[in-house]
Chain A
């Protein structure tokens, strides 16, 4: 059997890569606005001059805003497997943060399984792999009975 590969986040500092999945955003110390990916230099609220932020884990659940898929391999830097595996991309609205965040949907889910307004849950999953590493990213998964 093959050796266990290292699980490496596909991008540093955007999400909690061990244990329970959570996106890491930032929140302005002055006006409490949320940002993802993290804003760290200046607050984008035009009425706020805040420049200090705390790192915050964003809500792990939200409502499906829309969804689509890609049936053909996109150009690099997407690391498409060969043979290519189509994937779904979902836009999910976080209730508390009142923002929509994109993510791929875990495999095994079909377009026909989805509907705008559905409850979705953040999970960690493999994005691609090479000889040594498995690169991990956040993905969305429909909330069904029992999860």
Chain B
């Protein structure tokens, strides 16, 4: 297809709390991705960095920080920030350069060293900063938003805390044998339900942690890739959509939704449009997917994504989970990597990490967590302030 590019090399720095500079994680992932592609740093024609704004000055210039650490080669650089969607922004920018014929091969890197505990706003005392104001006026932490979405599933669809816990049980099993996962331990439903109730109905173990980690992808034109590989994995679509006005689901860090008073709500909600746009570009549908990697900030949110990426109708996600459809061995495994549940958020790396997982799965290199016969997969992710993020990867 006209918009295909190759995922030629994929690598991650293991997630954890390593206490080092984020550049180190990015450089290791970059070098391993280059090795995976059979290329050297000097072969790269564009470096694209996914960045984070929490880590001070070096975080603002991630692409150049990685390039300097790998050794200046004069290669063009882009740095992308889209919060949790930063990685997809970097991938999309690199792809656009390749599809426009401006380069043949690009290195996309994201890495983070996360602070401890709850994310807190950085705009100290800035009364015009909605992120600062939501903490000050409402105490609206990130788990507050996760809790609102989770409770709505319970009251609307009859979901239970036990359903939510089962998402974590599944993901903890998926991540057991993943060498890059931070948490490689089976978690029982009882352990989840007896962990601290943070934001009712969500327990501590329903909510993902924050981690250090890195991920990198070598992206190239299909023509370039075929010189190095007989059957390169293809990136079929990248969606970076924004919401359509009026967006009627309350999202971080907002105080209110848009008003649908003068303009009716769009037929497709923002979250439905994220993967929807990618399916459209790829000419594929949910029925073509062998698996999905979705943004499980909370267990309950993973269930929302089943519906948003079209695996089932609204209100049917709990059934899909409980029937085992989304477990490895089931019809369409979700988060075979273990998801954020086993990794934690390393913000600029996580959307790239999802593409690494799909690349390895499609090559048949996922070891004990291999999805048998995987031919195609979709990622879904969402960055603060309306950054949609979805990538479709296939044979």
Contact = CB atoms under 8 A, between A and B. Distances in A.
Interface of A: 10-11, 14, 28, 31-37, 44-47, 65-72, 74-80, 87, 89, 91, 96-104, 111, 115-117, 127, 137
A104 B134 CA distance: 11
Contacts of A10: 136-137
B156 interface: yes
A89 B148 contact: yes
Contact of A70 (B141, B149, B249, B254): B141
Interface stretch (B5-13, B50-58, B194-202): B194-202
Contacts of B143: 68, 70
Interface in B219-268: 245-246, 248-250, 254-263
Given A71-B199, A77-B121, A116-B151, A45 B245 contact: yes
Contacts of A75: 117-118, 120, 135, 141
B259 A33 contact: yes
A123 to B, nearest CB: 15
B121 A89 contact: no
B258 A66 contact: no
A11 to B, nearest CB: 6
Contacts of A35: 259
Query: For the complex, would chain A's binding face be called helix, strand, loop or mixed by DSSP majority?
Result: loop
A99 to B, nearest CB: 4
6 contacts: A69-B147, A76-B120, A78-B136, A78-B139, A80-B139, A100-B256
Given A89-B144, A102-B256, A65 B250 contact: yes
B40 interface: no
B203 to A, nearest CB: 10
Nearest to A68: B147
B258 A99 contact: yes
B1 interface: no
Nearest to A87: B139
B245 A78 contact: no
Given A77-B121, A87-B139, A72 B262 contact: no
B164 interface: no
A70 B202 CA distance: 10
A115 B152 CA distance: 9
Name the residue in B132, B134, B152 with the highest tally of chain A Cβ atoms < 10 Å from its Cβ: B152
Interface residues of B, number: 51
Given A10-B137, A74-B118, A75-B135, A32 B155 contact: no
Contacts of A127: 137
B133 interface: yes
A42 B72 CA distance: 43
A68 B245 contact: no
B147 to A, nearest CB: 3
Given A77-B135, A116-B151, 20 more contacts: A31-B262, A33-B261, A68-B199, A68-B201, A70-B141, A71-B199, A74-B120, A76-B120, A78-B136, A78-B139, A91-B148, A98-B248, A98-B259, A98-B260, A99-B246, A100-B256, A101-B255, A102-B140, A102-B254, A137-B137
B150 interface: yes
A74 B142 CA distance: 10
Contacts of B148: 65-68, 89, 91
Name the residue in B140, B262, B263 with the highest tally of chain A Cβ atoms < 10 Å from its Cβ: B262
B125 interface: yes
B20 interface: no
Name the residue in B125, B141, B261 with the highest tally of chain A Cβ atoms < 10 Å from its Cβ: B261
Contact of B256 (A66, A80, A99): A99
Contacts of A117: 155
A36 B255 contact: yes
Nearest to B139: A78
A25 B134 CA distance: 17
Nearest to A117: B155
A72 B198 CA distance: 7
A44 B385 CA distance: 14
A11 B118 contact: no
Nearest to B147: A68
Contacts of B100: none
B196 A72 contact: yes
A78 B135 contact: yes
A74 B262 contact: no
A32 B117 CA distance: 42
Interface in B53-83: none
Contacts of B138: 89, 102-104
Interface string B180-218: 000000000000000011111110000000000000000
A47 B151 contact: no
Nearest to B132: A77
Nearest to B151: A66
B156 A116 contact: yes
A28 B245 CA distance: 15
